[in-house]
Amino acid sequence: MTPTLKRKFVLNNAEGLHARPATTLVKIANEFNAKLHLLHGNERVDLKSIMGVLSLGVPQGSEVVIEAVGDDADRALIKIIDFLNQLNLKK
């Protein structure tokens, strides 16, 4: 069985995970075959679903967890974290 990779991340950008960055995040997630999930609080959604990601309403300063399972899970996490780091630079 393939292990689940997890990575915690704090969103420090001014507006949290609003529509535009959520759309880009979902687009990135869909580049990979891995099963990807985003966790915020007690909620867990499919990272490949824009409606799921937007339903979390992740505000500035929130900690999220990205879960990845599959052959390309490591590459998916790298690209997702890179995007989130760039998003945090836009304060």
Both tokens of 61, joined, read 């300063």
Find all residues with CB under 8 Å of 80, minimum gap 6, and list them.
Answer: 25, 28, 29, 36, 47, 66
Predicted pLDDT of residue 37: 98
5-89 is a CATH 3.10.28.10 domain? no
Q: Beta strand pairing status for 43-46 and 35-40? A: antiparallel
Residue 18 annotated to the active site:
yes
Amino acid letter, residue 2:
T
How does DSSP classify residue 48?
T
Q: Is the pLDDT of residue 90 over 90?
A: no
Over residues 55-69, mean pLDDT: 96
Q: In the prediction, which pLDDT does 19 show?
A: 94
**What is the C-alpha separation between 70 and 72, in angstroms, rounded?**
6
Domain ranges (residues) in the chain: 5-89
Active-site residue identified among 5, 7, 18, 49: 18
Distance between CA 34 and CA 46 in Å, rounded?
11
Lowest mean pLDDT among 35-39, 79-83, 85-89: 85-89
Mean residue pLDDT across the chain? 94
pLDDT-based confidence at 33, cuts 50/70/90?
A: very high
Q: Dihedrals φ, ψ of 49, to 5°?
A: -115, 115
